[in-house]
Structure 1
């Protein structure tokens, strides 16, 4: 660490999601120097995104006494940051880019959508498809030529944690769930109501509340839905509906990748849940002529950001570097 600090040979990887911002500093061999975790960094989901990102980045640098002038490269993957070919209007991009205008930092830096760092981390820079689902959702293919294509370019959206909960709540309100279903009871307890009438009133009240607060409050119930998926018919049908939309998005993108079978990795609090993964594996194994294979991510998104930052700094990301990043990521993810 002293050598890296003296020579200015470290890079910064940032994963800014709707729930957490994670920052890692690694040397040019991929070895861990420091890390920090803070509040959500997506302006799409967080009113205080800039404060969260800047504070988390500052803490990661300060904890290892790293001089910003010594950074050799920075890559940030940010939820809500639109890619050049995205069907949306890049409404947050300039705001997000300003998050990283740090005094004394002159290294090359780039900001990409968080699905891009997730893809590079999970598949080590190889072609394939990544499913991201947590606070937000995107399905992204990167082919052998490096082309990036997202499901939104096909006017498709699969849904994230809050959408799973919306489905559960709507099914309860329309009488599609038995009062004896364990998720029915869990939903009443979570929303602090005694019956369907009370749940309807809470939903109506939340419709006029702060949008970002409301999205998080619904999304926070998703882990209870997936935890009950094997014993609750309501949880199972809602999860399968979201998985079916996700599988459709993967099928739209798979023909753009030449690899056979097409590797499909998943990341995010919802997409990496075992209940989600089991159902997605079932959905992808039937009803399509193109072979697809679920694979475990080699690196989490933060590792993907660090990997891209090393590439930006001119480092050949060989297997030795990847192994070092795996170790560094394990430390960072444990925070």
Structure 2
């Protein structure tokens, strides 16, 4: 979770930056464990530039590498764009604690200076950006499952409550990393006799290019960054589709974890359903059994279908437009999201 510290270098009124917007641009940055995306957009929602780079979650990659990825995406997105037209930059970076918000703001400003321009920086939560990437509404629930997993309650466009997002070591249940780790654990349990036989043994061993032995699997896993296990998530999906009982159980457990988070934020049966439920992250926005289960059960529990937030950078840019414009039309949101696809 991230708490925003308002910049002191610009004048603000009612939460908005008093800046000239004619011909102006906003930049939205969405950075997670696997990817960093930057989107440059006009005040009409039209995309002007976009680029991606490696992941920039500082918990996963370290602070310096995170800034390197953000800088790379930002530099590439600005190719052919006059950076002096940029009125506001909105970074949404996973893994940023509240205590690091000011540091992030200062470091991103430094990146801008290094690229030859200066503008206010307005950091937001990655959950706020993910929610805005799926809807123009300002109230609802967002659940994100990509490399990591986290859910949040959004009120007036701000994150007011968060569940999970605690990182690979103690949380991120139902994430891509969690799926990959469970695949390895299931394979080890099958090999040493604690668990049921499963095709995941051969699948995991093949993916890691090791022998089908506990020693082979464990040695390879510990030679790399833990987050690499997220790359094994598709193996679980494929095995479940083929009818592997152990893989099917892992898929169900992942979906249950994500649904439990939503229920904790907004219990089913309340007199008022959340205005919107937004699903984000590759596990939930791409085709696959986890997404299928989550979507079906959310539709049944809340009597409405969730919407997909497929571009957090577009969501961050939409938030930025709300800082510099007196009014944002729904058609602008639609144009911004569509142009980012």
CA distance in 1, matches of 2:229, 2:309: 30
Using a 3 Å threshold, how does the CA distance of structure 1 residues 309 and 116 change in structure 2: closer, same or farther? Answer: same
Is the Cα contact below 8 Å between 1:158 and 1:242 reproduced in 2? yes
The equivalent of 1:271 in structure 2 is: 284
CA distance in 2, matches of 1:18, 1:193: 25
Cα offset for 1:187? 1.1
Q: Does 1:64 align with 2:80?
A: yes
The equivalent of 1:109 in structure 2 is: 121
Q: Does 1:236 align with 2:245?
A: no
Number of corresponding residues? 306
> Deviations for 1:298-320, whole angstroms, at most 9, x for unmatched residues?
66212111101111122522122
The equivalent of 2:46 in structure 1 is: 31
CA distance in 2, matches of 1:26, 1:38: 18
Q: Does 1:49 align with 2:66?
A: yes
User: 5+ residue gaps in structure 2?
Assistant: 1-20
Using a 3 Å threshold, how does the CA distance of structure 1 residues 59 and 258 change in structure 2: closer, same or farther? Answer: farther
CA distance in 1, matches of 2:85, 2:80: 12
Using a 3 Å threshold, how does the CA distance of structure 1 residues 263 and 310 change in structure 2: closer, same or farther? Answer: closer
Q: Does 1:21 align with 2:36?
A: yes
Partner of 1:29: helix, strand, or coil? Answer: coil
CA distance in 2, matches of 1:80, 1:31: 29
Cα offset for 1:323? 2.5
CA distance in 1, matches of 2:322, 2:274: 27
TM-score when scaled to structure 1? Answer: 0.81
The equivalent of 2:108 in structure 1 is: 99
> Deviations for 1:62-81, whole angstroms, at most 9, x for unmatched residues?
x22322x3211111111112
Partner of 1:248: helix, strand, or coil? Answer: helix
Partner of 2:240: helix, strand, or coil? Answer: coil
CA RMSD, 1 decimal: 2.9
Any residues of structure 2 matched to 1:99-248 within 5 Å, and which? Answer: 99-101=108-110, 102-103=112-113, 104-143=116-155, 146=158, 148-152=160-164, 158-175=173-190, 176-179=195-198, 181=199, 183-197=200-214, 200-204=215-219, 206-207=221-222, 209=223, 213-215=225-227, 217-231=228-242, 232-248=244-260
User: 5+ residue gaps in structure 1?
Assistant: 1-5, 85-89, 331-335
